[in-house]
Amino acid sequence: MPRLPRRSDLSGADVGFNWGVTSVLIARLRSDLAAANFSVTALTGLWGVEADAALQRNQRVPARRGLAALQAKLGRVEPSATLAELFVLGLSVAQADLAAALPTLTVAGAEELGLVSAGVPVGAVAAGTNPSGAAELGLVTSLVPAGAKPSGAKPSGADPSGAEIDSAELPASAPFAPARVRPLVELRPYSFLDEFGADSWWIVSDLGELALGRPLGESHVLGIGGASRTLSGLIMPTPAGRVLDLGTGCGIQAMHASRHAEHVVATDISERALELAALNAALNGIDTIEFRLGSLFEPVAGERFDHIISNPPFVITPRTPGVPSYEYRDGGMVGDALVEAVVRGAAAHLNPGGVAQLLGNWEYRAAAPAAAGVEAGPTASVTDAFARLESWLDAPAAPGPVPFDGDAPAERPASARTTEYDRSTPSNGTEPADAPPLDAWVIEREVQLPSEYAETWIRDGGTRPGPDFDRLYTAWLDDFAARGVTRVGFGYLLLRLPATPDGHVGTAGASTLRRLERLPDALGHNPTGLGSHLAACLAAHDWQAAMDDARLLRAHLTVASDVTEERHFWPGQDDPTLMTLHQGGGFGRKVALDTALAALIGACDGDLNVGAIIGALAQLLDADEGDLSAELLPRVRELLDDGFLLPPA
Ligand SMILES: C[S@@+](CC[C@H](N)C(=O)[O-])C[C@H]1O[C@@H](n2cnc3c(N)ncnc32)[C@H](O)[C@@H]1O
């Protein structure tokens, strides 16, 4: 793997490879991957959809069988099959096959890049088959058993039975035992669809549990997981100048951000993560990302961005000796303090009007700590996690040591809807004068009990039921009990630094959005992700928040194209007993309607303004027009916020 400069060498400068040699090798790799058609659809073609689904569940047997069957049928090894076996399934392959699959880069080149490991000196292998070299990127290793003759001509790959043939296991006397190469990293094709169209990349990350045959190491660099996809689908595609990806890992969010940003700064505490991220950007021809090493906002001290994206290491982990701390998911802080640090720190790094989007866990805590080792009982008074989140939003300052918050302000009911932020709320004294409370839209998607949470993340680390599992389980429950944690929420945070109309940091009264909601139900169908929906809802919110009721009454609104209405009738009756508005995209929301609201929405085709529609309805329903307006306008504002109704174009 090419080395990045040491941290002490950085002096705040960008992180980068010695591109002299490496960029040539990366270009060769790119050309070989393209020539082999190493793509998501090609892999499905190799082993079938059932094997694809099994791989999603971390099971590779069906894929191995599919590859073996294909090889038997064709009588040859396809380059894409060799690459898939090596880099996706994590199995060793014959060096000759890899040489055929990487004709430009060569096996030695893959070794040079750190993609593979060859068990014999590069020169010895190269003499027979690989004149130019692939080992520098650290992507492969070739294995030649003692006494075996390297043979570039032998077909190889998986045994048709599905069992891996690893040359290291062959008897030393095996005649013509093929030299084999093993992967040092995963390298997978990744395809996606976003606001800018369909595209695909190749992504390098550390070997997973399957290939390693053991739990992941603490410095593992994760590939693209479920949380990565969730966040990339949420990223608002609004054109931006500067974007920050905090905790970039393999670089996937920074790469997505590069599609709507002029310049991206990607940071991580892990040097290896930055190396892999820089490799991924280069491999996919993206040159607008700058990589910086450091914790949290430290690498961007004093800088501001239009958009901050972060899938931070938010997993809550006990700080107990013997409990592994995985860099990729755990920021080393107590409880949800890392998420708090990102939330509180965002304001100082956003441009006015800039948005931060992140995933996170947050704790619901008993209002008073339980005795050591004792879970908070069902009757304990619990501080709503949303109240804790709001306290972070209201005081955008760097957090100090995180205290137990049993003395948190009295519990506030979680806002179910958008609420105007009350600027008369006294400051708690910790916010800097130039950082007003943040606008926020928080969506809690899941809530887990401490036991469920512990099981999820112990399993994620590769520990299976047994004494070690029980030891970790105990540590997790003790840790939760120490802070009186009763539940853990997971969801999405969208934060915005309020701006004045002339583009300065908002002053008192500039904030209009404080929306914290629970959306546990299935989300709508969004082939291109939720990012554009979030952006449209935010714009609609800003539009309606700037309108007093008189101006809103003069507005011509339309119904969004994904909205349908469902009506239920008692048999034989003309009037519906139940009317529901459905959103096909976005968050797939449902809204119960009464007669007046259903009629108002039905008439919102852009012809009549809201006031005229309400006037006509008042006559029809024999209602007072003023009363009807007072009843309907707040609902209209909510429907605009949720994307059911659209403001004038
Ligand atoms: C959950 S992974 C996210 C990776 C990638 N952004 C994605 O979405 O798939 C979190 C990343 O944060 C990094 N990290 C851990 N602690 C950090 C810290 N204190 N400051 C910055 N990054 C940190 C980890 O090394 C890891 O790469």
E-state strands within 274-388: 289-293, 305-310, 350-366, 382-383
Q: Whose CA is nearest to atom 11 of ligand 1?
A: 247
DSSP 3-state of 45: helix
Protein residues whose CB sits closer than 6 Å to any atom of ligand 1: 222, 228, 231, 246-249, 252-253, 267-270, 273, 295-296, 311-313, 327-329, 331
Distance from Cα 619 to the centre of ligand 1, integer Å: 59
Rounded Cα distance, 291 and 267, in Å: 6
Report the pLDDT value the prediction gives residue 271, as an integer from 0 to 100.
94
Give nearest CA residue, ligand 1 atom 19.
Answer: 295
Distance between Cα 206 and ligand 1 center (Å):
14
Please report the atom of ligand 1 found closest to the CA of residue 332. 16
CA of 431 to the centre of ligand 1 (A): 26
pLDDT at 416: 28
**Rounded to the nearest whole angstrom, what is the distance from the C-alpha of residue 602 to the centroid of ligand 1?**
47
pLDDT for position 213: 84
Q: DSSP character for 381?
A: -
Q: Residues 71-101: pLDDT tens digits?
A: 999 999 999 999 999 999 999 999 999 999 9
For the chain, the structural domain boundaries read 36-183, 532-646
Q: Are 243 and 264 in contact (CB under 8 A)?
A: yes
Neighbours of 459 (CB within 10 A): 12
Task: Measure the N-to-C terminal CA separation of the chain; round to a whole number of Å.
Answer: 51
Q: Summarize pLDDT for 115-126 with one digit per residue, the tens.
A: 999 864 434 433
Indicate the angle between helix axes 40-47 and 49-56, nearest 10 degrees.
110
Tokens 């030891």 appear where? 471
Residue type, 517: E
Q: For residue 291, what are the contacts with CB-CB under 8 A and spacing of at least 6?
A: 4, 14, 15, 16, 248, 251, 266, 267, 268, 274, 277, 278
CATH 2.60.40 assigned to 532-646: no
- If you ran DSSP here, which 8-state letter would residue 44 be given? H
Q: Quick one: tokens of 621?
A: 């329903």
Return d(Cα 475, Cα 469) in angstroms, integer.
10
Spatial distance between the Cα atoms of 493 and 361, rounded to a whole number of angstroms: 10
Looking at ligand 1, which atom is closest to the CA of residue 231? 8
Rg over CA atoms, the chain: 28
User: What does pTM read for this prediction?
Assistant: 0.84
**Ligand 1, atom 18, residue with closest C-alpha:** 295
Q: Which ligand 1 atom sits closest to the C-alpha of 248?
A: 6
- Which of the residues in the chain have pLDDT under 50? 2-18, 120-175, 398-433
443 and 492 Cβ atoms separated by less than 8 Å: yes
pLDDT (0 to 100) of residue 458: 94
Calculate the CA dihedral of residues 263, 274, 18, 132 and round it to 10 degrees: -120
Q: Judge contact between 236 and 355, C-beta under 8 A.
A: yes
